[in-house]
């Protein structure tokens, strides 16, 4: 298997993971800012889109997205009014479209693409792509944490503070089943 196939599959996995987990939650949870000082899910998702656009620009595409960069570039502050953000469906659509274009570039460029010299923080495109993947995966970890956190706080609000039950194990042996991860780890 070529390294470009592996890199492409990793970006596809990230897109699939976000689509699976974000399309099924109550959209009001996208805007919750823990302690009113951390980034909400919507900001992190938009930031991943802007980061993918930057990778495509390194690959030679003109993307634009100035309106998205205004909200989601590094150093910007999240807004507190959900109506000010671009719509969730627009952001998810861009994530998918940019992901498809990124994967196509990587696949068509082959191994030679990875060693192509570029200006900037890294000496070649391969290093930009790997850093881009690590960067967005870090943010996906934040999103996963926030999904879980907002789930707990939503449940507590419905049941009353501190009224949640401790989850008990369904396994008699305490052994974690890897087959339960199959649907999450499958790359399409």
Comparing CA positions, the residue from 183, 178, 150, 177 lying closest to residue 26 is 150
pLDDT tens for each residue of 158-188: 555 554 455 555 555 444 445 544 544 555 5
- What are the residue boundaries of the structural domains of the chain, listed by start? 3-163+176-185
Indicate the fold that domain 3-163+176-185 takes in CATH.
Answer: 1.20.120
pLDDT tens for each residue of 65-106: 999 999 999 999 998 899 999 999 999 999 999 999 999 999
**pLDDT score for 36:** 82
Helix (H/G/I), strand (E/B), else coil: 38: coil
List Cβ neighbours of 16 (8 Å cut-off, separation of 6 or more): 187, 188
**pLDDT score for 14:** 97
d(CA 187, CA 183): 9
Report yes or no: 7 and 102 within 8 Å, Cβ to Cβ.
no
**pLDDT score for 174:** 47
Report yes or no: 105 and 113 within 8 Å, Cβ to Cβ.
yes
**pLDDT score for 37:** 80
CA 43 to chain centre: 10
**pLDDT score for 57:** 95
**pLDDT score for 34:** 85
Q: Could you write out the DSSP letters of every residue in 137-155?
A: HHHHHHHHHHHHHHHHHHH
**pLDDT score for 151:** 84
List Cβ neighbours of 54 (8 Å cut-off, separation of 6 or more): 132
pLDDT at 154 over 80: no
Rounded mean pLDDT, 117-138:
94
**pLDDT score for 120:** 86
d(CA 184, CA 181): 5
């Amino acid at each position: 298997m070529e390294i470009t196939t592996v890199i492409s599959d990793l970006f596809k996995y990230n897109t699939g993971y976000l689509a699976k987990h974000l399309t099924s939650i109550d959209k009001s949870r996208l805007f919750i800012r823990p302690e009113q000082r951390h980034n909400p899910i919507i900001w992190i998702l938009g930031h991943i889109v802007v980061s993918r656009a930057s990778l495509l620009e390194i690959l030679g595409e003109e993307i634009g997205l100035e309106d998205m960069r205004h909200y989601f570039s590094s150093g910007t502050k999240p807004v507190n009014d959900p109506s000010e953000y671009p719509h969730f469906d627009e952001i998810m659509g861009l994530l998918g479209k940019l992901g498809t274009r990124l994967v196509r570039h990587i696949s068509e460029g082959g191994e030679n693409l990875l060693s192509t010299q570029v200006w900037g923080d890294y000496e070649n495109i391969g290093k930009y792509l790997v850093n881009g993947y690590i960067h967005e995966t870090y943010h996906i970890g934040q999103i996963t944490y926030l999904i879980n956190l907002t789930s707990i706080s939503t449940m507590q609000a419905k049941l009353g503070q501190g009224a949640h039950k401790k989850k008990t194990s369904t396994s008699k042996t305490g052994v974690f089943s890897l087959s339960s991860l199959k649907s999450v780890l499958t790359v399409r």
